[in-house]
Amino acid sequence: MEKTATRVRPKDPYYSRTSAPWETAPRLDRIPDDAPGPLPAEEVRRYQQEGFLFEPELFSEAEVKEFLSEASDLAREWPKSRPGLICEPGSNAVRSIFRLHRVSKLFRRLFADDRLRARARQLIGTDVYIHQSRINYKPAMDGKEFFWHSDFETWHVEDGMPRMRALSVSLFLTESHEFNGPLMIIPGSHLTYIRCPGETPEHHYEQSLKRQEYGVPPREALADLIEESEIVAPKGPAGSVVFFDCNLMHGSNGNLSPSPRVNLFAVYNSVENQLVEPFCDRAPRPEYLSERTIDVLS
Ligand code: 6CS
Ligand code: FE
């Protein structure tokens, strides 16, 4: 596909991948602490400072059993004609499936559940809609790593998400322990935006969803972030949930254990932060990766 004409855009505060060397930029978007919701003020304050919240066992074993069975069915029965199923690099093991809110009534209902949506509304400060949903299966022995990245950097540059007014929920469908590649995060990293080097290749998502090489911070940028903070990996039983800001630096190791690490993700975006044209000279990514219309899951 031809490169779209380079648009002259009003100064984009979150430009990245302009083939300049990497640099840091301050976060301009405030996380509100005055919106109604189930979270106590102290937890909202912690989320403002650290960029994530860990809620152990928010869902029951019985609920998770149903979610896990649905997750296995979806991967097994995914029609070859439907985009959105990604295999692990170099194998047929399923790495991820996308757009759950459109293919599963059960998961569509889950994303409207106030244990998730009411918290998302409170931490974003407005009504929200699903920007993306997926399951990362990280299969036993086979699940490869997800290198360090900020989701927002990709969603801004490649999808056209204007500002940092979105968050992800990661629901553990299996236990997350130290050996099966738990989600790793750098607390407080959501306050710094890393402009990444390089330029976005054409159809980048065909590669990046297996192994991301563009839109990832250089090692020295990561070393700086980790030195100013630390690495934490929320671990816990199935049914636990991590809420994390769209710009929080995160990643996960490969899974060399005999137990899969199946995490279900939904990304809630502010209804005031709908996607515009991508901030790179490429066509928008397919809608299974980024919804371009608001679906409020009613
Ligand atoms: O490109 C994306 O939208 C996806 N990539 C990663 C590594 N995390 C967020 C999202 O699922
Ligand atoms: Fe991510």
pLDDT at 224 over 90: yes
**E strands within the chain?**
23-26, 52-55, 85-87, 94-98, 128-136, 146-149, 166-172, 183-185, 192-195, 241-245, 250-252, 263-270
pLDDT one-digit tens code per residue, 229-271: 999 999 999 999 999 999 999 999 999 999 999 999 999 999 9
Residue identifier of the C-alpha nearest atom 6 of ligand 1: 151
| Residue 288, strand partner residues | none
150 CA to centre of ligand 2 in angstroms: 6
Mean of pLDDT over the chain: 95
Give the ligand with the smallest distance to the CA of 212: 1
Predicted confidence band of residue 1 (pLDDT cuts 50, 70, 90): very low
The pLDDT value given to residue 79: 96
Task: Please report the atom of ligand 1 found closest to the CA of residue 159.
Answer: 3
| Residue 136, strand partner residues | 96, 263
Predicted confidence band of residue 9 (pLDDT cuts 50, 70, 90): low
pLDDT at 94 over 80: yes
Structure-block tokens of residue 141: 């022995």
Q: Is 203 left (phi over 0), alpha (psi -120 to 50) or beta?
A: left
- What gap in Å lies between CA 27 and CA 165, rounded to an integer? 11
252 with 138: CB under 8 angstroms? Answer: yes
List the chain domain ranges.
Answer: 48-270
CATH topology assigned to domain 48-270? Jelly Rolls (2.60.120)
Candidate from 132, 136, 161, 244 with most ligand 1 atoms within 8 A of CB, to mutate: 132
Candidate from 95, 133, 151 with most ligand 1 atoms within 8 A of CB, to mutate: 151
pLDDT at 109 over 60: yes
20/12: higher pLDDT: 12
Candidate from 209, 214, 253 with most ligand 1 atoms within 8 A of CB, to mutate: 209
Ligand 1 neighbours, Cβ below 6 Å, are 132, 134, 146, 149, 151, 154, 208, 212, 289
Residue identifier of the C-alpha nearest atom 10 of ligand 1: 151
Residues near ligand 2 ion, CB 5 Å cutoff: 151
- To 5 degrees, how large is the angle CA 287–CA 68–CA 265? 35
Task: Please report the atom of ligand 1 found closest to the CA of residue 168.
Answer: 9
The pLDDT value given to residue 5: 46
- Output the pTM of the full model: 0.95
